[in-house]
Structure 1
Amino acid sequence: MENYIKETPWDRRNFNINTYELTSTTDEALKSSDKHPGHYTLKVDPLESPKKLLRHGFYYVDTLIEPVCTKEKLNLFSNEDTLISKEYNSKDINEIAEEVFTHGRFHRDFNIPSSMADLRYRNWVKDLQANDQICALYYKGGLAGFYAYENDKVLLLGIKKEYQNKGLAKAFTSQGCYTQLKLGHDQLRTSISAANVTSLNLFYALGFRLSHTIDVYHKLNRTALNGV
């Protein structure tokens, strides 16, 4: 397969079709997505004209804002009733993952059933646990959520519904960031949907500032696909 088509097996297991990321917007790359059936992700500069993308069947799904924060600029918020720990019950973490992620780009994709988008998040959280990339968040001794990361990137923040809107997110997230920085990173980065205003405001309060943005397009090439 052409070197600008990258297979994404972590998505294939959820959607039961071939899944790819297209790494170029050249005419040759776009034409290749017409030849190989499956679901495609394409990330482009927002200033790039989408005309040729639309012509090849790609459709817009999201804009990702990618802020960064140096360890010197991280704002720490404390709450004596909160605790971050590597000790947790996997089943409890999985139950939180089933209820809190509803605004991802695959949830916004009209070609992907919501149940499959939910499954993608649940499997991702299980992978993160297996790779020791999750910390549990506790409030007054009860499990309130989790914080997931990879190297210098903040990946996911999941807080149980009964603990949301109680002013805990800043304390939980800043504790997670501080724990992550202690691993030796000079700065942290994350990726947030432009539609997720709550998360944008949260990370801005923590000291994160905009680095750049990316527009995300999807495509479903139904050729030779059965039942999709």
Structure 2
Amino acid sequence: MAFSLTYAGFPSPDGPLKIAPIPWDSALLDFPVFEVNCAQTPLDALGRHLSAWLSGLPRDRATLVVAKISPESVAVAAALAQHGFYPVETMIEFELLLARLTLVIKRQSTHMQLRMATPADLAPVTSIAQSAFAADRFHLDPNVPRNKADLRYAHWIENSFRAGDPVFILEDTEQGEVIGFVQARETAPQTMDITLGAVRKHLQNSGAGVLMYQELFLALRARNFKRAITRVSINNLRGIKLTLRLGFTVRAATVALHWFRRGTKSD
């Protein structure tokens, strides 16, 4: 699924601060959500223009703003903090050359099967997506209602099904039950970006996720993919450990910071 943002310069029309509304998060939370891209904004301009833009936001409704920066951008982080931004999540980006995949599970399962999703899988996959996540920035921000944070990835996977994105399913063939899913997208020739994945909450830490991802990367390699990319929250230590065990190496990291203001009237 293509999530693309349209940035505009501030001050208008081509100022150094780049700002975009995030329509899917705004629809989910029922109040405005924006992303501020300040990676190329000079520090003096950042402080001046960010203050002006934030003060100009309507005060009658709650507003959430996210900024994503490199962990090395300490001065930018400090400038954002001075304006009320607070860190909520660090995502580590990993890369795997599929020829170097390390097999963690040596014996093939007799009743766990990885396959492509069909439209009939939407309901169980959505159910998993709504209950399996707890370490992402929406769940970690007390300003985001828990039920809305739960719905975020459910909506994400519904949109992925509608868009026809590759969605892989781990099925327990003995029980006839979908127990996990992975949503992916081909971002470059022979490169697959592993965007979202989870197993049922009661099966986490059971080995089911290890099997699902290992089978996925074996399947991608069999289809002549050469490389896989994924991102894992630093709050998900089990996920980081699994990613490293499979042979991934660290490629980059991104820190997400939020700014939130409650509205003067109920939303």
**Normalization by structure 2: what TM-score?**
0.77
- Alpha carbons of 1:2 and 1:183: their partners in 2 closer, same or farther (altered >3 Å)? farther
Measure, in 1, the Cα distance between the counterparts of 2:97 and 2:50: 37
Q: In the alignment, does 2:48 pair up with 1:9?
A: no
Pairs within 5 Å for 1:149-160? 149-151=184-186, 152-160=192-200
- Alpha carbons of 1:225 and 1:130: their partners in 2 closer, same or farther (altered >3 Å)? farther
Determine which of 177, 197, 205 is the counterpart of 1:165.
Answer: 205
- Alpha carbons of 1:172 and 1:33: their partners in 2 closer, same or farther (altered >3 Å)? same
Contact 1:100 1:158 in 2 (8 A): yes
Measure, in 1, the Cα distance between the counterparts of 2:69 and 2:136: 18
Aligned to 2:214: 174
Measure, in 2, the Cα distance between the counterparts of 1:20 and 1:178: 38
Contact 2:95 2:229 in 1 (8 A): yes
Contact 1:34 1:56 in 2 (8 A): no
Aligned to 1:63: 90
Q: Deviation of residue 97 (structure 1)?
A: 1.7
Contact 2:94 2:230 in 1 (8 A): yes
Render the CA deviation track for 1:61-103: whole Å, top value 9, x for unaligned.
0111111101211224443322111234211112222221122
Measure, in 1, the Cα distance between the counterparts of 2:209 and 2:155: 24
Aligned to 1:21: 35
Identity score, percent: 23
Measure, in 1, the Cα distance between the counterparts of 2:257 and 2:214: 31
Letter in 2 for 1:196: N
Contact 2:199 2:208 in 1 (8 A): no
Contact 2:92 2:250 in 1 (8 A): yes
Measure, in 1, the Cα distance between the counterparts of 2:157 and 2:49: 32
Measure, in 2, the Cα distance between the counterparts of 1:64 and 1:162: 24
Q: In the alignment, does 2:174 pair up with 1:144?
A: no
Contact 2:69 2:254 in 1 (8 A): yes
Contact 1:85 1:136 in 2 (8 A): yes
Aligned to 1:46: 71
Measure, in 2, the Cα distance between the counterparts of 1:85 and 1:132: 15
Instruction: Report the 3-state secondary structure (helix = DSSP H, G, I; strand = E; otherwise coil) of the residue aligned with 2:31.
Output: coil
- Alpha carbons of 1:215 and 1:162: their partners in 2 closer, same or farther (altered >3 Å)? closer
Aligned to 1:194: 234
Aligned to 1:135: 168
Measure, in 1, the Cα distance between the counterparts of 2:155 and 2:264: 24
- Alpha carbons of 1:206 and 1:112: their partners in 2 closer, same or farther (altered >3 Å)? same
Render the CA deviation track for 1:180-214: whole Å, top value 9, x for unaligned.
45566431111111110010011111111111111
**Normalization by structure 1: what TM-score?**
0.89
Letter in 1 for 2:64: H
Render the CA deviation track for 1:16-56: whole Å, top value 9, x for unaligned.
11111111153155233443353111111112222211111
- Where do 5+ consecutive residues of structure 2 fail to align? 1-7, 11-17, 187-191
